[in-house]
């Protein structure tokens, strides 16, 4: 008996592919996220501060004051910390990820960071 191509992949092929992508090689369990993930937590905190500090300094009655300048500078510094933290996280996932999906995600994040840096440099 022959299989018709319209029947789709052989039974179990998709399951094997998903297991290959998501199964932790050391534990045999599916791994999507792991805690603690300090570099990702640092990125989230720094990114929120990088967004919030300039907004607060511009929207409050402090525009043009030294407090506004300090808040803006701290916002830029938080942005640099956020970029460094997400880059570190991407490198960790790319080289130390427990499954291919995590490694792929690390590569994608690094590509986005590098692309953003190149775009910022080129104007």
* CA distances from residue 9 to 2, 14, 36, 43, 52 in whole angstroms, order as listed: 13, 8, 38, 40, 49
Calpha distance 111→103 (Å, rounded): 12
Inside any domain, residue 27 = no
Give me the number of domains the chain comprises. Answer: 1
CA distance 101 to 98: 8
Note whether residue 54 is domain-resident: yes
What pLDDT shows up at residue 33? 80
Global pTM reads 0.80
Domain that holds residue 78: 34-122
Q: Take residue 105 and report the two structure tokens written for it.
A: 């995600």
Domain annotation covers residue 22: no
Collapsing DSSP to helix, strand or coil, 65 comes out as coil
For the stretch 30-46, pLDDT in tens is 888 877 789 999 999 99
Q: Does residue 22 register a pLDDT over 80?
A: yes
pLDDT digits (tens, 9 = 90+) for 71-118: 888 999 999 999 999 999 999 999 999 999 999 999 999 999 999 999
């Amino acid at each position: 008996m022959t299989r018709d191509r319209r029947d789709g992949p052989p039974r179990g092929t998709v399951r094997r592919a998903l297991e290959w992508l998501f199964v932790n090689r050391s534990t045999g369990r599916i791994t999507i996220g792991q805690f603690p993930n300090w570099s990702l937590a640092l990125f989230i905190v720094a990114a929120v501060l990088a967004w919030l500090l300039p907004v607060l300094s511009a929207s409050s009655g402090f525009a043009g004051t030294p407090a506004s300048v300090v808040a803006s500078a701290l916002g830029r510094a938080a942005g640099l910390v956020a970029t460094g933290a997400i880059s570190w996280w991407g490198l960790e996932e790319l080289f130390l990820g427990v499954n291919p999906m995590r490694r792929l995600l690390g590569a994608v994040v690094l590509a986005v960071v590098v692309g953003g840096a190149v775009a910022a440099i080129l104007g």
